[in-house]
């Protein structure tokens, strides 16, 4: 993903980022396991070694990994990082 210019094609101005600094470099990233369990303790969802901002709660990461990561669990196509989700969404919006 390339750095955006100060003004994009859809008329947005830079607001929360700095020129020549990738926004991902402004965030501390952390790898952890995503796991959602049922009320009786049974594992309903699990994906290991996923990446989210350090500031995100475990619950937020679990939900994003379960609901928004693309690709089948256990396949090479499966997304493993919020960065991939953001890139996919942004690429769709600016296409």
Q: What is the pLDDT of residues 29-86, one digit of tens each?
A: 999 999 999 999 999 999 999 999 999 999 999 999 999 999 999 999 999 999 999 9
- Mean pLDDT taken over the chain: 91
Higher-pLDDT residue of 24 and 10 is 24
In this model, does residue 8 exceed pLDDT 70?
no
What sections of the chain are H helices per DSSP?
A: 58-68, 82-94
Predicted model pTM? 0.82
Are 51 and 24 in contact by the 8 Å Cβ rule? The answer is no
Q: What are the distances in angstroms from CA 64 to CA 1, 8, 51?
A: 21, 27, 11
Q: Are strands 29-37 and 43-53 parallel, antiparallel or unpaired?
A: antiparallel
Residue with token string 């942004």: 90
Helix/strand/coil for 13: strand
């Amino acid at each position: 993903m390339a750095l955006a210019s100060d003004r994009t094609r859809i008329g947005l101005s830079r607001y929360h980022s700095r020129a020549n600094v990738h926004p991902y470099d402004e965030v501390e990233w952390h790898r952890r396991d995503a796991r959602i369990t049922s009320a009786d303790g049974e594992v309903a969802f699990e994906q290991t070694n996923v990446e989210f901002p350090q500031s995100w709660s475990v619950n937020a990461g679990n939900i994003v990994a379960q609901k928004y990561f693309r690709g089948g669990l256990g396949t090479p196509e499966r997304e493993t990082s919020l960065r991939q989700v953001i890139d996919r969404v942004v690429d769709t919006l600016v296409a």
